[in-house]
Amino acid sequence: MSFVQPPLPYDLKDLAPFVSEEQMMFHYGKHHAAYFTNLNGLVDGKPESELPLRKLVIEAPAGPVFNNAAQAWNHSFFWHCMSPGGGKAPSGEIASMIERDFGGFDKFKEQFSTAAVKLFGSGWAWLALDPSGKLEIMPLGNADTPLKYGKEPLLTLDVWEHAYYIDYRNARPKFVEGFWDVINWEFVNKNLKSPF
């Protein structure tokens, strides 16, 4: 069995102007696709190829299998974190949790953006749920994910340069700013109930 890249939950052009169709063609069509190709090459014929991707991410030791499995999973999750009708303020349960744990949406927005902008090198800014039920902002390098720390991913932003190089060149802060216009808070709320 091999791992298959899931379809995007919208069209390549649908997140414009936050990210252009060309940017998505490269990010989804080349970078994300390559992690699946690489992963399948690494696990071909091995027992790991039979695991659900999420389980493989949790169980794989540091190394190429983990890197490619986690990058495959992280991106599939990331596409759902955005929606053409997204943005605005959070609603539902996540809104009250943000209020409780960060003292308001504006403070959360500032802390998450700072974490995303300051993350050194390549990586992901995550909002995760601690087993105690508390929200946590986790800036993690390369392919690293809250799943490795027993925490549930709720929201993520890819800050690898390949996520924004076509539209924003080197300007990560502008890319991070635009993310707030497309966040799919329904998906974030859904992750509180049923893990992706």
Interface ranges with Mn ion (CB under 5 A)? 158, 160, 163
Q: C-beta of 31: minimal distance to Mn ion in Å?
A: 5
Q: C-beta of 160: minimal distance to Mn ion in Å?
A: 5
Our separate counts of H helices and E strands in the chain read 9, 3
Give the list of residues 6+ apart from residue 165 with CB closer than 8 angstroms, or none.
none
Q: C-beta of 89: minimal distance to Mn ion in Å?
A: 26
Return the closest-CA partner of residue 34 out of 80, 75, 62, 83: 75
Give the Cα separation of 110 and 106 in Å (integer): 6
Give the Cα separation of 185 and 191 in Å (integer): 10
Of 31 and 190, CB closest to Mn ion: 31
Of 69 and 98, CB closest to Mn ion: 69
Nearest position to Mn ion, beta carbon:
158
Q: C-beta of 34: minimal distance to Mn ion in Å?
A: 10
Of 158 and 167, CB closest to Mn ion: 158
Give the bridge partners for 138, in sequence order. 126
Of 75 and 135, CB closest to Mn ion: 75
